[in-house]
Structure formats: C-alpha cells, structure tokens
Amino acid sequence: MAQASVTGRSLEIGGGIGNLEIPGKDLIRVDIQGSPGVHLAADAHFLPFRDGVISNVFMFDVLHHLECPLMFLTEAQRVLRPGGRLIMIEPGISPLSHLVYGLGHEEPVDMHWNPRKPCKPNPSKDPYESNQAIPTLLFTKYREVLTESGIFLSVSECRWLSMFAYPMSGGFKRWSLIPSRLVTPLLKVEDWLLPYLGKIMAFRLMIVLEKYET
C-alpha cells in the first residue's frame, strides 16, 4: 500500500487495531469506534477534515462495511488534495472466492447490490455489517457510476491479489495450512499466475483511486 502513496499527510480509515505503520508518513488513524490505536473517532461518511488537506487515504477491509460507499467516496474526494490517492485492499469476488466465502465466511456476499439505489447512513447500524461484493461490483460492473455520481477519482489501479496463500493462511484466523518456509515460494508462484488467473481464482483486490489535478 505504501508504494502506491504520494508525499504528504495520510489518513487511515478503520485503523482501530493500529497495525498500519508507514515510515516517513504523517498518519492520522480514524475509526467509527474509539480505541487506544485511534487518534479520532469519526464516521467515514462524514470526515471531520477541511477540503483538500489529505494526500493519502488508506483503508484495509473497510469499504465493504460502509453502508453508503458512494457517499464515502464523495467525502474522500473532498478531503483529498489534487493528485491525492485513496488506497484500499478489499475482498475480491472471483468464481472461486465466491464459492469459498459462501461456504466458510461469516460475512455475506450479495452480488445483487446496486450502487444506484438511494442510500442514507443509519446511525444505529452495526459497523460490522458488511457485503463483501461491494468493492468488486463498484470497480468492475458499476465503475461508470462514479462519474455519474460526481465522483472524479480516476481508477489508477484495480488489481487482483491472493489466490492460494490467503485462504490457506486462514485469513485473520489463528490457524494456517501453510508452513512458514513455503510462504515466500508460494507468493512468487501467485505473482506469476495472477495476470492469467486472477479474475477466476483471486480472493482480494487492491484499488487505487487518484483525485484529478485541477
């Protein structure tokens, strides 16, 4: 994620566990819930920052939890400076991951989600509610909805990640099916295969949006 960023003040949304560390970055952590690792508790739909003061917004597994993703993207556009970037890693729904997520994951995958449906954030919504399909649908099938909604963030990268290593690692579970000595070789094999098999077998997406220069 750091390699995709630009110089300047950075914001992590959903940074409650405080794991993101980027050397040399002025990083502000925001989460819907307060915790020791968070600088500021705030709703991603209503970011408490002035226009154009943020260079990078980082999010790891956050977008698919947001009730109104387009409303959030409008806010991200507002707080980003021209040339600033929104950098996300999210679930990616391929035929294989759809099958696996459906069989063994507690978060739903609703491929019928439509971003054109009117949306208003509900303050009483459980912040852990989710739809893992949102990032894939929004940045593949419904990408044109961004400009239709007045969101002028160009998609500079939408890349499939993680075919074998992620499900075999257990994700955020305590167990892993991969011996530590095989992790690096397996990731190298994945990197070689992803351009050919990513759309069919990948489990993750990396999305980088950039605010148009004015």
192, pLDDT greater than 80:
yes
- What are the φ and ψ backbone dihedral angles of 51, each rounded to 5 degrees? -65, 135
Asked whether 56 and 85 are in contact (CB, 8 A), the reply is: yes
Q: How far is CA 199 from the centre of its chain?
A: 17
pLDDT at 16: 74
pLDDT at 214: 62
Which pair of tokens denotes residue 90?
A: 């999210």
Of 87, 212, 208, 83, whose CA–CA distance to 150 is shortest? Answer: 212
- What number is the average pLDDT over the span 67-90? 96
57-66, 73-82, 144-153, 176-185: range with lowest mean pLDDT: 176-185
Of 19, 14, 87, 78, whose CA–CA distance to 48 is shortest? Answer: 78
Of residues 58 and 21, more confidently modeled: 58
- What number is the average pLDDT over the span 83-98? 95
213, pLDDT greater than 80:
no
Which pair of tokens denotes residue 94?
A: 């391929």
Among the four given CATH numbers 3.90.1150.10, 3.30.420.40, 3.40.50.150, 3.40.50.1000, the one describing domain 2-211: 3.40.50.150
Of residues 5 and 73, more confidently modeled: 73
pLDDT at 24: 57
Q: How far apart are the first and last CA of the chain?
A: 25
pLDDT tens digits along 103-128: 777 899 999 999 999 999 988 889 88
Secondary structure element (H or E) that encloses residue 184, with its range: helix 180-201
Listed in sequence order, the residues at least 6 apart from 145 whose beta carbon sits closer than 8 Å to its beta carbon are: 70, 115, 116, 138
44, pLDDT greater than 80:
yes
Burial class (CB in 10 A: 0-12, 13-18, 19+), 31: buried
Q: What share of the chain in percent tops pLDDT 70?
A: 92
Boundaries of every domain in the chain? 2-211
The residues pairing with 59 across neighbouring beta strands, listed in sequence order, are 13, 88
Strands 153-161 and 10-13: unpaired
Give the chain's mean pLDDT: 89
pLDDT band at 71 (very low <50, low <70, confident <90, very high): very high
Please give the Cα distance from 152 to 75 (Å, whole number): 12
The pTM of the full predicted model, rounded to 2 decimals, is 0.90
81, pLDDT greater than 80:
yes
